[in-house]
């Protein structure tokens, strides 16, 4: 297993290299899009409707499929107390809607009939209902998605509910027990962000799912699956004018056109950053189906709404570089590979660096190892962000822009809806470049480093087999 170098900035993680001292704040940043951006031919249009629904249409002749997202401003953090997993269950159950009557085919079956690929993606902040289809079937797919927004749970039965809930419970058990990944996914938020809105489990727990009812889902959907909660994104090779016209036609009953009343889009302030852990806070220890002990080092940083994405990229590179340096120390029982994840939520960005140990260790030995490793962190970061060395910032700038280019090759359109909701910007690559430009200045990066990229802010977790 090699070090993870690229996990997809436009979805969550990203990777960087280098570091440096700031040039003047007005220094130009070469554009990653100038002759490099593979989506340079893409055109983007945005719009807002009286119903509060917003739309982003992206024309990219290089795409072979049309992808459509309905991004609802509701996620795991909006679930009522004691009803964890409700948001994901609601999203799954919308595929069982029968819009032609109780005996009609389900939405899922109708989408399969046009060879559409479908899925739902849930975060703490939002729910994404996703369809990818051949352009020849776009008209059908957009009509079906409009029906889903109008009647998300049309003719869904108790039998449907029980079957979908059971499937979610099975998937959850598989997720928790997946060797290597499952325990990390389960405990990272629950243990290290306990008590915070982002500490609750996405998808729920087997115990919480058992308590949910179809009426719980109906009430949740009625309150949150509204046009004012939604950003509709269409991305594909279709001309902008054609895509916009088709969306306007299919969603005519949901846009509020012709009405004098205007509903504002649902806006919600993201939760605040988690409180810093006290310096020297004890490492959390749990057990899971692991092949070897695993150490997690986690930094929490300002999230998507902070506008500090560029600074977060630097933090990611700092953590990665620091762990690389530690792997070279033969006295540490560390493996020769590690992974670094970058997850940007509305209110917090979570950088998770984990490494497996090459032999079993006692808990006390692991605590000493963690303490020894963290003792080197601040000095390492300080050398990487030395204001007296302009070459460092020059190298870092080039690396970050190249990373944005690589991300644009693999990034998902879903992140456009998230950034659009937070900033009003749909030109995501250009916006990211601007954020990097602003971050790599002498009056921005050093204060950020001193405030956020410190060893005493590092949360640590040990997962034992």
70 vs 393, higher pLDDT: 70
- Mean pLDDT of the region 370-391: 86
E strand segments, 279-366: 284-287, 294-302, 334-344, 348-357
> Measured between alpha carbons, how far is 263 from 260 in angstroms, rounded to an integer?
10
- Mean pLDDT of the region 436-448: 87
Per-residue model confidence (pLDDT) at position 83: 95
HSE at residue 38, side-chain half, CA atoms within 13 A, is: 11
Candidate from 5-19, 77-91, 102-116, 286-300 with smallest mean pLDDT:
5-19
Per-residue model confidence (pLDDT) at position 279: 66
Q: What is the pTM of this model?
A: 0.85
433 vs 51, higher pLDDT: 51
Residues 6+ apart with CB under 8 A from 272: 347
Residue 126 pLDDT exceeds 80: yes
- So where are the chain's domains? 51-255, 284-464
Say what percent of the chain tops pLDDT 90: 57
- Mean pLDDT of the region 311-327: 93
Which is nearest to 403 in space by CA: 413, 391, 395?
A: 395
- Mean pLDDT of the region 161-183: 80
pLDDT classification of 33: cutoffs 50, 70, 90: very low
- Mean pLDDT of the region 188-213: 88
Residue 106 pLDDT exceeds 70: yes
Backbone angles phi, psi at 362, to 5 degrees: -80, 155
Q: Is the dihedral of CA 205, 209, 211, 212 positive or negative?
A: positive
Quick one: fold of 284-464?
Answer: Cytochrome Bc1 Complex; Chain A, domain 1 (3.30.830)
Average pLDDT, the chain: 85
DSSP tally for the chain: helices H, then strands E: 16, 11
> Measured between alpha carbons, how far is 410 from 433 in angstroms, rounded to an integer?
17
Write out pLDDT tens, residues 108-119: 999 999 999 998
Which position has the token pair 């079957």? 163
- Mean pLDDT of the region 260-273: 90
pLDDT classification of 7: cutoffs 50, 70, 90: very low
Per-residue model confidence (pLDDT) at position 26: 30
Per-residue model confidence (pLDDT) at position 182: 52
- Mean pLDDT of the region 155-163: 98
Per-residue model confidence (pLDDT) at position 62: 86
Residue 90 pLDDT exceeds 80: yes
Query: Which of 215-229, 287-301, 374-388 reaches the highest mean pLDDT?
Result: 215-229
Candidate from 24-38, 103-117, 148-162, 330-344 with smallest mean pLDDT:
24-38
Q: Tell me which DSSP letter residue 282 carries.
A: P
pLDDT classification of 300: cutoffs 50, 70, 90: very high
Residue 430 pLDDT exceeds 90: no
Residues 6+ apart with CB under 8 A from 275: none
Per-residue model confidence (pLDDT) at position 389: 73
Per-residue model confidence (pLDDT) at position 42: 76
Residue 340 pLDDT exceeds 50: yes
Per-residue model confidence (pLDDT) at position 20: 27
> Measured between alpha carbons, how far is 65 from 135 in angstroms, rounded to an integer?
6
Which is nearest to 344 in space by CA: 371, 374, 382, 305?
A: 305
pLDDT classification of 127: cutoffs 50, 70, 90: very high
CATH of domain 51-255: 3.30.830.10
Residue 288 pLDDT exceeds 80: no
Per-residue model confidence (pLDDT) at position 38: 43
Angle between helical axes of 138-150 and 240-250 (0-180°, round to 10): 40
> Measured between alpha carbons, how far is 39 from 411 in angstroms, rounded to an integer?
11
């Amino acid at each position: 297993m090699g070090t993870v170098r690229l996990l997809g900035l436009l979805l969550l993680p990203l990777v960087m290299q280098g570091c440096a001292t700031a040039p003047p704040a007005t220094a130009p940043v070469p554009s990653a899009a100038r002759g490099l951006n593979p989506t340079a031919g893409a055109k983007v249009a945005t719009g807002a409707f009286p119903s509060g629904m917003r739309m982003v249409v992206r024309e990219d002749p290089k795409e072979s499929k049309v992808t459509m997202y309905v991004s609802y401003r509701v996620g795991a953090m909006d679930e009522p107390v004691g009803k964890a997993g409700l948001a994901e269950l609601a999203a799954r159950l919308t595929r069982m809607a029968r819009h032609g009557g109780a005996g009609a085919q389900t939405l899922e079956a109708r989408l399969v009939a046009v060879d559409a690929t479908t899925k739902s993606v849930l975060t703490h902040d939002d729910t994404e209902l996703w369809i990818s289809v051949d352009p020849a079937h776009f008209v059908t797919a957009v009509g079906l998605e409009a029906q889903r927004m109008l009647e998300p749970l049309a003719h869904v039965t108790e039998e449907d509910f029980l079957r979908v809930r059971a499937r979610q419970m099975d998937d959850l058990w598989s997720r928790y027990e997946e060797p290597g990944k499952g325990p990390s996914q389960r405990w990272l938020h629950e243990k290290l962000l306990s008590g915070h809105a982002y500490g609750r489990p996405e998808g729920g727990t087997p115990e919480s799912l058992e308590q949910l009812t179809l009426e719980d889902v109906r009430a949740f959907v009625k309150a949150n699956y509204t046009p004012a909660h939604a950003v509709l994104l269409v991305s594909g090779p279709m001309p902008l004018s054609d895509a916009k016209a088709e969306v306007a036609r299919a969603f005519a009953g949901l846009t509020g056109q012709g009405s004098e009343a205007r509903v504002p889009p649902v806006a919600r302030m993201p939760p605040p950053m988690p409180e810093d852990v006290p310096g020297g806070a004890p490492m959390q220890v749990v057990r899971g189906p692991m092949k070897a002990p695993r150490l997690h080092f986690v930094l929490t940083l300002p999230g998507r709404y902070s506008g500090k994405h560029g600074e977060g990229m630097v933090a990611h590179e700092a953590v990665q570089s620091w762990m690389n340096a530690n792997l070279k120390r033969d006295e540490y029982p560390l493996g020769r590979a590690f992974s670094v994840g970058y997850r940007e939520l509305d209110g917090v960005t979570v950088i998770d660096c984990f490494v497996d140990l090459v032999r079993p260790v006692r808990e006390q030995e692991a605590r000493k190892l963690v303490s020894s490793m963290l003792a080197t962190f601040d000095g390492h970061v300080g050398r990487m962000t030395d204001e007296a060395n302009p070459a460092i910032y020059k190298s870092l700038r080039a690396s970050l822009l190249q990373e944005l280019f690589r991300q644009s090759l693999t990034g998902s359109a879903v992140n456009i809806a998230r950034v659009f909701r937070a900033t009003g910007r749909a030109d995501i690559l250009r916006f990211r470049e601007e954020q990097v430009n602003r971050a790599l200045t002498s009056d921005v990066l050093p204060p950020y480093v001193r405030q956020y990229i410190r060893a005493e802010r590092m949360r640590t977790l040990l997962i034992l087999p």
